[in-house]
Amino acid sequence: MNIYINGKLVPEKDAKISVFDHGLLYGDGVFEGIRAYHGRVFMLEAHIDRLYRSAQAIALRIPIGKAAMAAAVVKTCKANGTRDGYVRLVVTRGVGSLGLNPYQCKTPQIIVIAAKIQLYPGALYEQGLRVVTAGTPRNHNESVSPNIKSLNYLNNIMAKIEAINAGVLEVIMLNPQGFVAEASGDNVFALSGRELSTPPVSCGALEGITRNVVIRLAAQAGLDVREKILTRYDLYNADELFLTGTAAEIIGVVDMDRRTIGNGKVGPVTRDLTRRFRALTQTEGAPIG
């Protein structure tokens, strides 16, 4: 495997950064998870735009432009023969002192990894997920904005630990006010009749790229799509519940906190949106070549 680091492709064994990089020391940096399907990088422009918005929010000046960054992603996929896979694009603050001061870090590090990922076992896309509510609340919006996709994922990891300890693979995280925010790494959607609801960003949800694609596909399917404040009660009583994310794609939830969701099976709307999403991935994206 070849890894892109600061304009060069190097073998995996030679892909190294300094132990003084603030991305390692403090989680100071931003990233994107991106998918490649059928020889195309899906929603590449949207991912690059979000990366630069995240960097702007943490006062991180990325040393190359958006077009060059997109080209780096495509170049890395091509070098690794990646036609269907997962790309991790990382920008760290760079090398600095052992202190917190980010302005001592002069050269951000740009890293692109093209590999594979499977967030959940394949069988669960047919059977559906079981989830629990996390005791760990989502970070307050004015502490770390959910729209900053930063390298510091400890809040999500603490919630993920709760899931694993409870014998499930995923959790629903609530915000400090007790409203539904998101899963540990995915957005949440609840269907009631023909109304499809997802928490607004103001409730602690990342504005996911797949989330936005699903909103568009759901509207095309004739659903009434809304960003809406949701409670656990709303999720317990949903006709269908599903999660979305770049790594997860679309996956149904059939049990939450030992409450059966709907009829306990992945619902027809979830399956229809999955079919529409997969069809879109066959035709849309930046060609790898």
The model's pTM: 0.95
Q: What is the pLDDT of residue 133?
A: 98
Question: What distance in Å separates the CA atoms of residue 198 and residue 136, rounded to the nearest whole number?
Answer: 20
Question: Which residues does 91 contact at the CB level (< 8 Å), separation at least 6?
Answer: 29, 30, 31, 51, 55, 60, 62, 108, 109, 110, 111
For tokens 């607004």, name the residue: 200
CATH 3.30.470.10 fits 2-115, yes or no: yes
Given 13, 16, 149, 265, which residue is catalytic? 149
Q: What is the pLDDT of residue 153?
A: 94
pLDDT in tens, 169-227: 999 999 999 999 999 999 999 999 999 999 999 999 999 999 999 999 999 999 999 99
Q: DSSP letter at 138?
A: P
CATH class of 124-281: alpha beta
DSSP string, 244-261: EETTTEEEEEEEETTEE-
Is 265 one of the catalytic residues? no
Give 243's pLDDT tier (boundaries 50, 70, 90): very high
Q: What is the pLDDT of residue 117?
A: 87
pLDDT at 271 over 90: yes
Exposed/middle/buried for residue 64 (C-beta within 10 Å: 0-12, 13-18, 19+): middle
Give 289's pLDDT tier (boundaries 50, 70, 90): confident
Query: CA separation (Å) from 147 to 59, 90, 111, 275?
Result: 14, 16, 21, 28
All structural domains of the chain with their residue ranges? 2-115, 124-281
Question: Do 2-115 and 124-281 share a fold?
Answer: no
Beta pairing, strands 195-198 & 224-227? parallel
**Positive or negative torsion for Cα 172, 26, 48, 76:** negative
- Describe the crossing of helices 44-57 and 209-220 by its angle, rounded to 10 degrees: 130
Q: What is the pLDDT of residue 119?
A: 82
Q: What is the pLDDT of residue 118?
A: 86
What does the mean pLDDT of the chain come to?
Answer: 96
pLDDT in tens, 135-173: 999 999 889 999 999 999 999 999 999 999 999 999 999
Q: What is the pLDDT of residue 216?
A: 97
